Amino acid sequence: MDAKKAAELINQIRPEVAIPVHYGSIVGKPSDGEFAELVEPPVKAELKIKF
């Protein structure tokens, strides 16, 4: 699942907070952090991985 598909899923299930954890290290690339920009309010995206 890429960042766009993950954000689509989060926008459907609408949790209070979404924390992506597998971008840039295990799979994907650091630029997959775009997930936070694709998540719609009121969902809050928390990016915990720092590059």
To the question of pTM greater than 0.75 for the whole model, the response is no
Question: What is the per-residue pLDDT for 2?
Answer: 80
Cα 22 to Cα 44: distance, rounded to the nearest angstrom:
17
Q: Is residue 16 part of a domain?
A: yes
Rounded distance, CA 34 to CA 14, Å?
18
Residue 18 is assigned to a structural domain of this protein: yes
- Provide, rounded to the nearest whole percent, the portion of the chain with pLDDT above 70: 71
DSSP labels, 11-51: HHH--SEE---SBTTTBS-GGGGGHHHHSPTT-EE------
In a domain, 31, yes or no: yes
Half-sphere exposure of 7 (CA within 13 A, CB side): 17
Query: What domain count does the chain have?
Result: 1
On whether residue 26 sits in a domain, the answer given is: yes
Alpha carbon distance 51, 40 (integer Å): 24
14-32: per-residue pLDDT in tens? 999 998 876 666 666 666 5
